[in-house]
Every structure is written in structure tokens, then in C-alpha cells.
Structure 1
Amino acid sequence: MTQPSIILSDVNARQSVFHRRAFLLGGGIAAGIAALGGRLGYLQLVENARYAKLSTSNQFNFRLVPPPRGLITDRNGAILATNRPNFRLLYARQKDQDPETVISTLAAYVPMDEARQQRILKDLGNAPRNTPVAIMEDITWEQFSAVSIRGTELPGVTADMGEVRVYPHGGAFAHVIGYVAKVNKEDITETGPNAESIMLHPGFRIGRQGLEKALDLELRGRPGAQKVEVDARGRQVRLAPGGDVPATPGKEVQLSLDMDLQLRGLELFGEESGAAVLMDCRSGDILAMVSAPSFDANRFVRGLSGAEYKALAEYDHKPLFNKALTATYPPGSTFKTLV
């Protein structure tokens, strides 16, 4: 039986092909390792400052802080509209969390009827995730404490202190000054001041009627920012020391009205319906502009229930109607001289 013959030339050819392929493969691996090492060196050495900054921005965030709204005073400096501290509850809807369960648990510590709970759930559904929604304003210190010490039972709920608009004289200047209220979807625009992100803050208010609306941009001020540490999901972990940007208060507005004359005019009308305007004939300053009966603007800041608003709107003396500016009256005796 014949043995297979080994041809040396074939062996040498196969070895040559193997060596060539091994050399090419090794060269490719070496080139890849060199490219990877070069890229790592570039990122860690050349781009170190940039990625350190990005890392810090992932760890820390800035939360907008509404500015104090500008004061409104009368001709003598008496305060007609100011701000006061306000204890409130905020809730930010988070991933893998049932808001209905959280709100139901919260109702055991602060009074909330079923209708209010459903309204809060509707607001949460319309708000972006991790954006806080105001659940309740003007809570008592006892309610504030009860929620604060039960943070583990109420994930996403925070009790904090902000500022709320207050009108010291109630309804005496309601038709002139107007009031502020929460921002709704119709108020937000794509450009201009109403496109700023502060409009989405639960503590921000804009003017709705009167001077609060006419001078809204001057009274707003400029928002500040609070530096906070956040986790990987963007949730606040703790406050970060330093780095806060203070808010700029709104402009103070002084009116020509006289507080004493305005209060006296409203007192004279009592429960009767009518209007009175008093002017300084030398300068043309309006000293009093009374529309009676009036309404308490502070109730509109907190938010009226449907029944409360209906009672005001259906009252036959029309307290929501500004009779000094929008009503039409026949000419009186002073018109006889013109005739």
C-alpha cells in the first residue's frame, strides 16, 4: 500500500497564507486598540473639563424661584397690595407611581373632598412628569408638619413655603387693582415674556384684572434659581450649598388714589349699588374710584369654588361689575350748563 506523499511546496504555501492572515488580523487588532486608547486619552485628557461640567450638570440642577411681586401703594405710601408667606403642598408625578393612591393617603392628613381630589388628578395628568403641581395653598402649621414628617408615606409630595399675593383692604380696591391668579394654558405663548419656563411654576401668578393685569410685566420681576442635587431620574435629593441665583423683585407702583377717601366712599355706599369717582381738579389725579358693592380679591387669589363664584355672579347688585369704568349712566345736572 502506498503512503501519501507530502509535498513541501504545498505546506509552505499554506503556512505563508496563515502567516499573512495572522499578520493582517494582528495588525487590525493593534490598530483598534491604538484607536481605542487614543480616544480614551482624548476624552480623559483633552475633553476632561467639558465632561466634568456635564457630570456636574447631571448631579445638580437649578429650580426656578418666582420673584416677589411688586408692591402697590397709594399716594401716601399706604400698601394696597403686598405679599405674605404661604405654606403649601406640592406634588410631582413620578414614574411607576400611582397618583390616586398618594392623593388618597394625603387626604387623611389635610382636608380634601372627592371633587378636589379629582381636580388635582386632572391637573397632574396635564402637567409634565417631575413638574410640581400645587395641591393646596395656605395650609396650617399643623398640616405642614404632619406632611413633612411623613415623607416616606407620600413620595413626590413636598411641603414648602412660598409667597402669596394679599390685599390688606379686601374689596375696597378690588375693581381698581384687580387680582392675580394661576397661569392656565391660554396664558402661555410661544414667544415673549409668557413663553418663559417660570410660567409653569406652581407658585407663579399673573394679573387677571385691573392694574395687576395692565402692569403685569412691571410687577412680575425676574425669577431666581435654587441649586439642588438630583438623582438619575431628575428627582430632588437635597439642596446644594452655594450657587443660588437671587430673584429680582417686581417694580413698586404708586397710585394717585387716597386710601382714606376710597375706604370712606365704600363705607358711604354700604350695601347699595353705585359708583363714585373723585378727582383733583388742579392736577387731574384720581383720588378715589369706588364701585359698590365690591368683592374680596383675596378669595380670587386662593381660588373660588364653583358655588362661591356663582353666588357673586348671580347677585343682583353685580359686585363683579366695575360700575366706575364700564357702566353707562345718563348725564346729570352738570350737563345742563352745556345745554
Structure 2
Amino acid sequence: MIPTVRPRRLRATPAMRRLVAETRLHPAELILPVFVREGIEEPRPIQAMPGVMQHTLDSVRRTAAEAAEAGLGGIMLFGVPELRDARGSGADDPDGILNRAARAVAAEAGDALVVQTDLCLDEFTDHGHCGVLDAAGAVDNDATLERYCAMAVAQAEAGSALLGLSGMMDGQVAAVREALDASGHQGTAILAYAAKYASALYGPFREAVDSQLGSDPAVAGDRRGYQQDPANRREGRREARLDIHEGADIVMVKPAGTFLDVLADVAAESEVPVWAYQVSGEAAMIEAAAERGWIDRRAAIEESVLGIRRAGAGAVLSYFAIELAGWLR
């Protein structure tokens, strides 16, 4: 029998494939996560994340300018302080490393990029958890919200346009929105890490922020008490609905590649933009396989980010953002 339906007609040439492509990548849909470390004189390589650095204030300015030149949509800043304590005091200190970095990047490229800051305590606490602890050593949800509100105001005053609430505390969006509005920062937007899973793929990130998680044997060494169980799909949709109801301007699914089903679910019903984070472990696996010659590095990067976009992400946080933008341009 001779087939009358021939889908291959639309795959015959590069021009035809380009014409009928359902999903496209653009630099403006990419966001670069960047680490800024206090107390270093020059950028410091992160062993588990080839090509990624812990930056100084000077080098983060240069990186922000490079990101703007590449046409990226934004830059997400993470701070790595010299000193930590149980309540993460450096997080809302106007002279803390993250707030200083936000001011520097906003001055350098704030007209060309959306300057974003991670709003979580894990980088700043001496126990490595995303919140303050109660007497039993568990994360105290409501006490942590008070710290998040203080962080939010400090970050907004430092020039951050979009606050990335990544701590997975119940009620964090509503609390931060109220604090921002009460302090005159009604124009500062909230990115809620709504469906953030307790993933095995965060390992390299913990080196990047010099995480203290697990350093104290008396304190739990994982975040499964507040990050989501990777077994649960419906829970991701529920978390996203709650955050949207509380006032989130954008919601996030993290990690991206191993939770594309959740990403598609959230994107199908969300009333606000949906983003996804291609996390450190996802990037590290590509780099490790490419280094051994097992995969085509560029093709794997492009395909991985394209898959995240195809599943429904309007924008993607990726450590490959500047490089990928160069290929797209």
C-alpha cells in the first residue's frame, strides 16, 4: 500500500523544519543564575559546575553586562556570605553580599535585564536550612516568614525587580506581598518557586553556595520536611494554585528536566507566567557526558532547554544561558 499521509513532507529540509517548528528558543526567554561570594579577590571556579564561577562584585558587574549584551531576559543573584548565624542575619543586612550585588547589578544593567534575587535563608544560616529552627531543631515555618519579609524589603530597596521565593514555606507569598506593599514596594514582583522538589540534582549547587546543610549532626541534613516529595504530581499543581491565589506574579517548577509532567500541568492551568529552573545537577550531567565524548554538548544543551520550553515554561533559568543565547543569535 502507498501511504497518502506523509508527515515526512514537513521534515524534508532545514528550511521546512524551521518553518513548521512548534517551539522556538529566544535569548529573552533565558535567565542566568549567578553566585556572588563575599571575601574573594577574583572569580573562583566551582568544581562540580564546569564553567560556572563564584563571582566578586566587580566580576558580577561584567557578567551582568555580558548577559545584557547577549539579550538575556534576566539575571538571578545568589549570595555567599563570609559569616553565617542561626537566623541568617546577613540576608536582610543592607550591606550583606546579596543586597550589595543587587545594587551593583541594578546600576550596571538594570535597564536591560530584570534583576532578580534569591529570597531564601539557606545560604545565610550556619545550619544550612531554608528557615530558622525551633527548639527541637525543625524549621519553624511562621518564624521563618518574618525573616523572609525582612529579606524582601531589603532586596527591594537594593534594586531587585523580582524576588525569587525559593524556601517552600507555607504562606510565604502572601506574607512577602503584604510586607512589600506595606513598605512602599508595590511594584516589586514575586517569583514563587511553587513546585520545588526535594531533588537529588541540587548537589553541585550546594558547593556553589557553600551550604552548611548537614554540618550539625543534631539538625536534620535534608529539606524533605518542606520541599516536595518527587513522587507527587498533583501536589505541584496545588502548590502553584495556592501561590497564585496569594499573589505570585510568576510561578516556578524546579528542577525542570525530571519534572516536565508537573511543568506541563502547571502551565496548562496557570493564570500567570510559568518558569522552570534547569538546575545544577542537570547542567553537570550534560557537562560530564560531553567531556567523555558520549554526547554532543551543544545539541544536548539546546535539546534540554527546548524540551523545557516545549513542556510549557515561558522562561528558563539555565547556567548555559549566555552561551545558548550566542548560538541562537
- State the TM-score, normalizing by the size of structure 2: 0.21
Return the structure number with greater helix share.
2
Work out which of the two has the higher radius of gyration on C-alpha atoms and give 1 or 2: 1
- State the TM-score, normalizing by the size of structure 1: 0.21
Q: Which has the higher contact order (CA 8 A, sep 6+)?
A: 1
Return the structure number with greater strand share.
1
